Structure 1
Amino acid sequence: MSQALAVPRTVAAITLLGLLCSQTASAGPIWSTSEIHLQHGSLDTPSFAGGGDADTTIVTLQNASGWEKIELFVFLDIIDDNRSDGFNDSDLYGELYVGGGFGKLSGKDLSFGPFKDIGWVFGINHADDAKVWKYLPGLRLYWNAPGFAFLNTDITAYIDDSRGVGRGGAPKESDSFMVDFAWAYPFSVGEQKFSIEGHMEYIDGRRNEFGGEVASWILAQPQFRWDIGHALGWGESHLFLGIEYQYWRNKLGDPNTDESALQALVVLQL
């Protein structure tokens, strides 16, 4: 993608995300958190895109909001690396999830075993350059986990609606399923405040439109955050420093690429 096209598409995506966040705020959520992430590290390029690795910068715009019976999570990644090879060159990737607990919807206690509620979730994943669209309807399990801000498990379908090679995108794929664990665990050591948060997903294997194998993958992205804003007396939960570790077995379905990478992380919470 040319830089001339990248700028307006990026601006358009940022504008749409900003409008979405402002609309959720004006609708009066019970809670809402918006963040800007800056990450930098050396990430692998799958073998089907040339292989090797490249210094990669990712800017993430993220919002999580909750109402009495529904919750929203949306993020947009703006990705660029130091190689002009058609992979991660001013690319955009975003995900949106809407869900809620059946217990909250019905007003009944649906807790069982280690879970405090069971609910529904619907997700959309989109990769801009690859023209990939995935839809993820399924169930969400809310764990009763003391000390965690949240601990959820999503079990969803992974339904492909991509544009395919004939329309200038990545190959279309058969449908599959996903299991995802997402968490946030805040803690303190003395007067310093930290958190460990992130997610880990398994997406089952499938076939592309040419009959080739798309390998199942495991992607884990835990973050370790230090609340440096609190440490410097600037207020709690505004500015964080840390690292994100990315482990991606069979990255993007490529059985020849297993990624293990540390990225420097700065988070501004709005």
Structure 2
Amino acid sequence: MKFSYLLPACLFASAATFSHAEPIWQDFSITGLYGENYKLTPKEEQTTVTFEYAAKVKYGDLFAFADRTNSGGKSDTYFEVSPRLSLGAVSGKKLEAGPIKDVLIATTWEGGEDMNNYLYGVGVDLDIPHFQYAQLNFYRAANDIQKDDWQMTFSYGVPFKISNEDFLFDGFVDWSTKVKNDKVAHDSELNWTSQLKWNAGKHISPSTRLYLGVEYSHWISKYGVPGKDENNVSALVKYHF
């Protein structure tokens, strides 16, 4: 069996294991975005509705999201499912060293119209002062188009206060290698997408988490296309259930 077929089976098995595990914590949210400077879309204007789910369980964590986009009257759906397995929890040993809190097996399934991309590798949880969370994952991609494609992903969240108001600065940085073969030329790309959000919900009730803010996307060689650089600011509304 080819590894590119085995990896999806492992992802499904991991997701099934997580679905039967009692979450230590979990979070579900819906985000609405509107921006006017997107690249490689039917129009520069685009609206996006994002459904996100995150959970921590005994043996790891899970993050998943689905984007439903509309640009120029054309709609599309893209999703990612990212289960990670904690080697510290499985072994019963503390895998800590310096800022590293844990070491994990990291996997991701990226899917959309006529595309599937499977990532596998290793991740670490980091303990950085003032960060709510910080994760660094190193992946290799497995698909039928790109060969020997490597990716690094850093995700983070930094809460802070200004006077009595609560803010959150979070996001991710993706970097992938350049790939060239008979099927496709894929340039090295860097995608830094960040959100700056104000918790307006606390003024409704202490438990309401309604965020207003902006998302900034700085994407060099978007989708690996040379010269297609995106710098886009989107208005943002996000609600956590």
CA-CA distance at 1:235 after TM superposition: 2.6
> Which stretch of structure 1 is more off in the superposition, 111-120 or 175-184?
111-120
Give, in whole Å, the separation in 2 of the partners of 1:180 and 1:236.
Answer: 31
Give the aligned residue type for 1:36.
I
1 or 2, which has the higher strand percentage? 2
Task: Say whether residues 1:32 and 2:22 are aligned partners.
Answer: no
Task: Say whether residues 1:248 and 2:238 are aligned partners.
Answer: no
- The equivalent of 1:76 in structure 2 is 66
- The equivalent of 2:99 in structure 1 is 114
Give the aligned residue type for 1:179.
M
- The equivalent of 2:12 in structure 1 is none
Compute the TM-score of the two structures, normalised by the length of structure 2.
0.87
User: Which ranges of structure 1 fall in alignment gaps of 5 or more residues?
Assistant: 1-19, 162-171
Task: Say whether residues 1:54 and 2:44 are aligned partners.
Answer: yes
Compute the TM-score of the two structures, normalised by the length of structure 1.
0.78
Give, in whole Å, the separation in 2 of the partners of 1:147 and 1:100.
Answer: 25
Give, in whole Å, the separation in 2 of the partners of 1:158 and 1:64.
Answer: 23
Q: What secondary structure does 2:44 align onto?
A: strand
CA-CA distance at 1:127 after TM superposition: 1.8
Structure-2 change in CA distance of 1:209 and 1:62 (3 Å): farther
Q: Which runs of 4+ in 1 moved over 6 A?
A: none
CA-CA distance at 1:236 after TM superposition: 4.0
CA-CA distance at 1:27 after TM superposition: 4.3
Deviations 1:7-33 (A, max 9, x none): xxxxxxxxxxxxx9xx94x74211000
Task: Say whether residues 1:139 and 2:122 are aligned partners.
Answer: yes
User: Which ranges of structure 2 fall in alignment gaps of 5 or more residues?
Assistant: 1-14
- The equivalent of 1:42 in structure 2 is 36
- The equivalent of 2:143 in structure 1 is 160
Give the aligned residue type for 1:74.
A
RMSD across aligned positions (CA) = 2.0
Structure-2 change in CA distance of 1:237 and 1:112 (3 Å): farther
CA-CA distance at 1:112 after TM superposition: 1.0
For 1:224-239, list aligned pairs within 5 A.
224-230=196-202, 232-236=203-207, 238-239=209-210
Deviations 1:217-239 (A, max 9, x none): 00011100100011x23234520
Task: Say whether residues 1:259 and 2:230 are aligned partners.
Answer: yes
